[in-house]
Structure 1
């Protein structure tokens, strides 16, 4: 698949999946922008540029009004192929780039071996969120929002009879989006995230997905794990926030 078409597919899937966070709050559609309000002061309160095309000035005005109505600064996510067209308008409106994680993808063939570590699908979203927040060192409310979102599969890796790490996976139109990766401090460096990564790839195949994606911080241990698992750098996610 040509790179632009692949990025279009990924952006559209991210925008559609983003709406699951707004079911208990609000969802707004402003041309190609899909906006969500998930709850007070949550970083999920943002919009995805899913395309096709870019929002008009009127659509940006309406999105910004939606954000202000909920007491949030307008925040927009987009993939790297869309940024050049929209960047001048965003700069004029006072938006600034706040994050630039790498986007990796992997076709679901030649998978790594299934892990030997004990991994369970978690049925208690609140418990999963607590363990996940412990690994991240905070952020319990956002992890609860992630855990309670529809069509999100939650996994926990166990070591020495204790929860060691968490991870999540969401499926949208054949795309398995991997996220929510967190390791509790006492279990770092023991391969739990590598096991959860392989586990989710196998689960994605069973769910008839054909592609996996993940966003990672550049030069982080997570990026090294992703590359070792056969993912390839596909683009970037740019997040702009209005000052």
Structure 2
């Protein structure tokens, strides 16, 4: 809520058409940024949404208000996806509230720039690894007993998982791991009819990206993209709807969908 200019997440020109009618979704890191934008569009398409977040209660409250304004039921659960016990407990809460789960969006993330690998501290490394890849695996493991044929998991990858980022070595490594996890789990779950895909965003204007940057660096954020600017969260969220809905993506699994503002080639 302190980010100025505020990220755009409402996608006012997007018209829902019931693509997710009756679906029940968990979205991690849904208090702000991409997660909030996805929660809003999921609700606009008819889904009920569980908003999982770490500790930004004020931001999560705003997400809830917008989900409910779209007509969806919403539960908000605070906790850390690095903790397997929290993941299991959160899933139980959502099943109790909604009667089941059809969609998991793994979106929670941690990043902190570090110019030299020698300066990467153990605590920093573990937070990146445990949030970005262990948390995704733990949430998927907790949700899977409740998923059925036609359900899906969507992971948030990154262009850094494809091309790397010299000041985000650990973050890039986890995003590459998310891409591999997506493909491997898609293969494993194919016989069960559960689809697994990922979205790989380019630079996106969310609290995650400018949080540890100087003002001048923030001003230049995203200028090296092919479009010369960062995306807004509302420009990412339709990709998640596309992958979540069996209407549009019933024959798509194991895909890393790039939303990068250009070919990046």
More helix by percentage: 2
TM-score normalized by structure 2? Answer: 0.25
Q: Find the structure with the greater CA-based Rg.
A: 1
Q: Per chain length, whose mean CA-contact separation is higher, i.e. which structure has more relative contact order (CA < 8 Å, sep 6+)? A: 1
TM-score computed with the length of structure 1 as normaliser: 0.27
